[in-house]
Structure 1
Amino acid sequence: MTKVGRWMTQTPITIEKDATVIEAVHLMKEKNIRRLPIMDKGKIVGILTEKMVADFKPSKATSLDTWEIHYILSKTPVTEAMNPTPYKVKPDTDLTDAVKLLHDRKLNGVLVVDDSDSLVGILTITNALEALMEICRNPEVCRE
C-alpha cells in the first residue's frame, strides 16, 4: 500500500500539444486541476502548471488590456509555456521515494508512467497528504 500506484490519481486529464495556452487555462479551471500533462498522440511531451501559466502571462504592469492578453494566449501553443522534461516515477516506486522527490525538488506533482513511458497517473502533494492521513489513522496500511 505504500507504492505510488496505490495513491496516485489514475488517468489524469491531459491536453494535446497543439492546444493553446488559453484552452489549457479553461480546461484547468473547468476540471479544477493545477497541472496538465501535454501529449502528442499518446506520448508525454511536457507538463503545464498553473504557475507556468502565471509566469508566462504578461505582468499586470503591462499596457495590454484583458482582451489583448486573452487574444495572445489564444494564439500561443502550450508547447511554448510547458516544461518539456517533467519528473516521472513508476507505479511501483515507493511512496517515500516519490515524496522525497516532491520535497527535494519543490514539486507539486510528478507524472506516473509505465515501463513503456505511457502516462498512467499523476502523484500530487494532495495525494501524498491523503496517504499520510490514512497511514497515520491506520498504520497497518503500511503492512498490506
Structure 2
Amino acid sequence: MNVRQLLVHKGGAVYRIHPEATVLEALKELARHNIGALLVMDGDRLLGIFSERDYARKLVLLGRFSKDTRVQEVMTENPIAVTPETDLEEAMRLMTEHRVRHLPVLEGGKVVGVVSIGDAVKAILMEKELLIQELSRYVSENR
C-alpha cells in the first residue's frame, strides 16, 4: 500500500494554521478536530508543522504562555514530507527514524494530505488482516 491509497481511504483533509496565529489558537484547532498536529502554512506554502510535542517541549518546558506565543516561534520547520507514491512502510520507517508522528504529503510541491503514524499502523493492520483472511480461505478450500 502506498500513501495515495491511504489518503483515498482516510480522506485528504488538511488542517492548517497561519504562522502568525497564537499557540492558543493552534491548541483550540487541535482540540476542535481531535488531531495531534497542524500544518503551518502561509497560503499554499508549507512552512512547518505544529504538534502537541512542540507545545509540550518548546512552550510549557520553557515557561512561555500560549496566548502570547506565535506558532512560528515553536513550530518544527522544514518537516519531513512524503509523496503520494511513497510506500506506507517507508513512511513508517521515516516517522520512526526521525521520531515524528505526522508527515505532510506533497505532490508537485503542493500539500495534498497528512499521514500520521496511527493512520499508517491502522492501514497496515487492515492489509495484514485481509491477507490472513485470504490465506485462511485458501487453506480451507484446498484441504
Do they superpose with TM above 0.5?
Answer: yes
Which whole-Å CA distance do the structure 1 matches of 2:101 and 2:121 have between them?
11
1:42 partnered with 2:44 = yes
Matched residue type, 2:57: D
Is the 2:44–2:110 contact (alpha carbons within 8 Å) kept by the matching residues of 1?
yes
**What is the aligned partner in structure 1 of residue 4 from structure 2?**
5
Uncovered stretches (5+) of structure 1, i.e. residues with no partner: 63-68
Deviations 1:99-130 (A, max 9, x none): 11112222211110111x11111111111111
Would you say how many aligned residue pairs link Structure 1 and Structure 2? Answer: 129
Larger Rg: 2
Which whole-Å CA distance do the structure 2 matches of 1:50 and 1:86 have between them?
15
Using the aligned pairs only, state the percent identity: 26
**What is the aligned partner in structure 1 of residue 96 from structure 2?**
103
TM-score (norm 2): 0.82
Cα distance change, pair 58–94 in 1 and its aligned pair in 2 (3 A): closer
Is the 2:59–2:74 contact (alpha carbons within 8 Å) kept by the matching residues of 1?
no
1:33 Cα shift? 0.7
1:59 Cα shift? 3.9
**What is the aligned partner in structure 1 of residue 116 from structure 2?**
124
Matched residue type, 1:47: I
Which whole-Å CA distance do the structure 2 matches of 1:59 and 1:93 have between them?
35
- CA-atom RMSD, angstroms? 1.9
Aligned 1:1-144 pairs, distance under 5 A: 2-8=1-7, 9-59=11-61, 72-115=65-108, 117-139=109-131
Deviations 1:82-102 (A, max 9, x none): 011101000011112111111
